[in-house]
Structure 1
Amino acid sequence: MSENGTQTVRTGGIRLSYRSWGAEVGVPVVLLHCLGEDGEDWRGPLISGLAGRHPVHALDLRGHGESDWPGSYALDDFVGDLRGFLDELGIDKAIVVGHSFGSVVAYLFAQEHPERVERLVLEETGAMRPLQPPQEVPEPPPGIPAFDWEVKVQWARQRNDPDPRWWDRLGAITAPTLLLGGGDGSHLPQQDLHLMAERMPDARVLTIDGAGHLVHEARPMEFTKAVLDFLAED
């Protein structure tokens, strides 16, 4: 364990850093952060609420935090990392919670490995359809970034011209799914959450209006209650 409280695993030649809290029994919960953050972003009421009933693991995605910055950031790389992470920890099936970029990784993983996802929570997720107009591929800011800027560059390209299977295979997600939107103040089209839910076999949308894109930060107690209520359902 590092001085920052993180542990590491190696999978596919990549070192991944993560933080763990909570019970030793129960279905494990894996938390996936948004672009530019790391696993520390989840610390707060959600961790406290989950940790009494679940082992909780907050991963630093590749190119972020204390995980390796390998320069290759195809979404399939992130999906493979998550699979390898679960394998290394001996987790056959997990509850996966993702925010924004992390939520896209979460649902692409759920498409590829539906048998390994118990439940899925997607906070302010993105519909992977071609953007019109496309995003500009961003130039790096001055100074040393807190994450590998190449992640953002490659994400913009994939967001502009996504693989059609990412949209077409939403129906392959078998886990009960909660799509959480921030309503007013979010830069994402909120109708996309409903369009995605319609394509999934067992999905619903909950809007915490006025929370914007950072729902778990802007409205932590409401976000936590929504997640815990969803996980407690039969």
Structure 2
Amino acid sequence: MHPVLLLHALGDTSASWRQLSTRLAAPGRQVLTPDLRGHGGTAAEYTAALVCQDLVALLDRHGLDRVDVVGHSLGGHVATLLAQRQPHRVRRLVLEDPPPPPRDERDAAAIRARVQPLTAFLRDRRGRVDPRAVRAFIEELREPDPDWWRRLATITARTLVVSGGLDSPVPPALLARVAAAIPDARLMSASAGHHVHQRRPVYFGTVVSAFLA
């Protein structure tokens, strides 16, 4: 049974995975739930690439050569980077409503039309995340990145992309393109909004447990 790495969303913490972590650990699986850079502490610089480096260092410290990864929102984006850059280390990949960077300005406009205003996001998560991290990560994810899209083809992990459906700020059609670009991926929609594992924890836990088996 492979260890699993759970990566939380921007503005959340590792505590958001408590129910899923308990379920996955029950059969004896090792579960890692780190707080990402900027959450529970501050750093000098915030980029998804640096968070990815933090995770590689974490796996190295634990002596883990190959893991399953479940990432929500920003955590899903970082999980994708890890699977792109170190494909040999990721066996299974679950991407819960991740915000892919736009491929072009047309995609960027569609994303901006759906996202929560930054001021409201900061107000709702005051004290849980460094505001500088929020601004840096959101600005990064709003910039078109065609190279990120091309690198999806390098992912070797069997992948499950979970869309939150029409109530999510992440356009389902965009996630369908992500799933289509990863060689061994499938897409499912939970119709639960952006926080699938929190709004439908039993369903999400059942699906993820079966996928990681």
Q: TM-score, normalised by structure 1?
A: 0.81
Match of 1:115 in 2: 88
Is 1:132 aligned with 2:109?
Answer: yes
Q: Specify the code of the residue in structure 2 equivalent to 1:182.
A: G
In 1, distance between residues paired with 2:94 and 2:110?
28
Is 1:218 aligned with 2:193?
Answer: no
Task: Choose from 127, 136, 150 the match for 1:168.
Answer: 150
Whether contact under 8 Å (2:111, 2:171) holds in the other structure is: no
Bigger helix fraction: 2
Match of 1:16 in 2: none
- Who wins on radius of gyration, i.e. which is larger? 1
In 2, distance between residues paired with 1:138 and 1:111?
29
In 1, distance between residues paired with 2:145 and 2:100?
12
Q: Specify the code of the residue in structure 2 equivalent to 1:54.
A: R
Whether contact under 8 Å (2:111, 2:170) holds in the other structure is: no
Is 1:183 aligned with 2:159?
Answer: no
Task: Choose from 49, 66, 88 the match for 2:23.
Answer: 49
Q: Percent sequence identity over matched residues?
A: 39
Match of 1:197 in 2: 179
In 1, distance between residues paired with 2:24 and 2:148?
29
Q: TM-score, normalised by structure 2?
A: 0.88
Task: Choose from 184, 187, 190 the match for 1:208.
Answer: 190
Is 1:150 aligned with 2:132?
Answer: yes
Match of 1:15 in 2: none
Displacement after TM superposition at 1:142 (Å):
10
Deviations 1:12-66, CA, capped at 9 Å, x for gaps:
xxxxxxxxxxxxxx3110000000111111001x22321114100101001002x
Whether contact under 8 Å (1:93, 1:116) holds in the other structure is: yes
SS in 1 for 2:33: strand
Superposition RMSD in Å:
2.0
In 1, distance between residues paired with 2:124 and 2:206?
39
Q: Specify the code of the residue in structure 2 equivalent to 1:184.
A: L
Q: Specify the code of the residue in structure 1 equivalent to 2:158.
A: P
SS in 1 for 2:92: strand
In 2, distance between residues paired with 1:227 and 1:111?
21
SS in 1 for 2:140: helix
Displacement after TM superposition at 1:178 (Å):
0.3
Match of 1:39 in 2: 14
Change (3 A) 1:226 1:153: same
Whether contact under 8 Å (2:77, 2:98) holds in the other structure is: yes
In 2, distance between residues paired with 1:87 and 1:76?
17
Q: Specify the code of the residue in structure 1 equivalent to 2:109.
A: Q
Moved more, 107-116 or 133-142: 133-142
Deviations 1:160-190, CA, capped at 9 Å, x for gaps:
2144321110001100000111213212101
